[in-house]
Amino acid sequence: LREQPAARELYLLAGWQQWADAGNISSGLPEYLVDRTGARLIGELNVSSCYLFQVPGTHHFLRPEIKLVEGHRESLTKHANRFYYTESGDRGLVIFVGDEPHVDVERYAEAFFEMVKKLGVRRVVALGGVYAPSVQQDRRFSFSISLAGIGSFSPPFGGMSPTGVYR
């Protein structure tokens, strides 16, 4: 963590390059908000052990990409998990842009939530999108709740059904 936000109320919006990224909802929206708000980089997760480097036949998908210009490295693209910050008055927004881990998901989740705790975030919203058949009249949204003490949840507007409730 490079900087501890000073905002009184702090929220976090998280998105990943992941399988549940239909329409780039999970990866595109956080990147758009970072760009649009001018959010600054405040920290990164050190979780390189959560990514595969080589699997026979797929190494070109997993390895870092190096761009060479006249024999010298110009850039190195590797897995990134970054926290950005922007604020408005006494409210702050942390925007997380990450790459879904390949292995050791528990370690990755522990590192992510340790950072959430360290930042003092009040609420986390994680984004995801999946392709589904078009439904004309009965539009349903799915969500997961991980707030202790909630056994049942009735959203303030209709048409929602939880995918899971974690206690």
Task: Say whether 48 sits in a helix, a strand or coil.
Answer: helix
Give residue 134's pLDDT. Answer: 55
Task: Select the highest-mean-pLDDT range: 38-47, 51-60, 75-84, 127-136.
Answer: 38-47
Q: For residue 79, what are its two tokens? A: 């897995």
In the predicted model, what is the mean pLDDT of residues 88-101? 92
In the predicted model, what is the mean pLDDT of residues 89-99? 92
> H or E stretch including 150?
none
Give residue 132's pLDDT. Answer: 61
When pLDDT is cut at 50, 70 and 90, the band that residue 152 belongs to is: low
**Cβ-count burial 29-51 (b if 16+ within 10 Å, e if not):** bbeebbeeeebeebbebebeebb
pLDDT digits (tens, 9 = 90+) for 114-147: 999 999 998 998 888 776 665 555 555 555 555 5
Contact predicate 34/12, CB 8 Å = no
Per the model's pLDDT, the better-predicted residue between 102 and 36 turns out to be 36
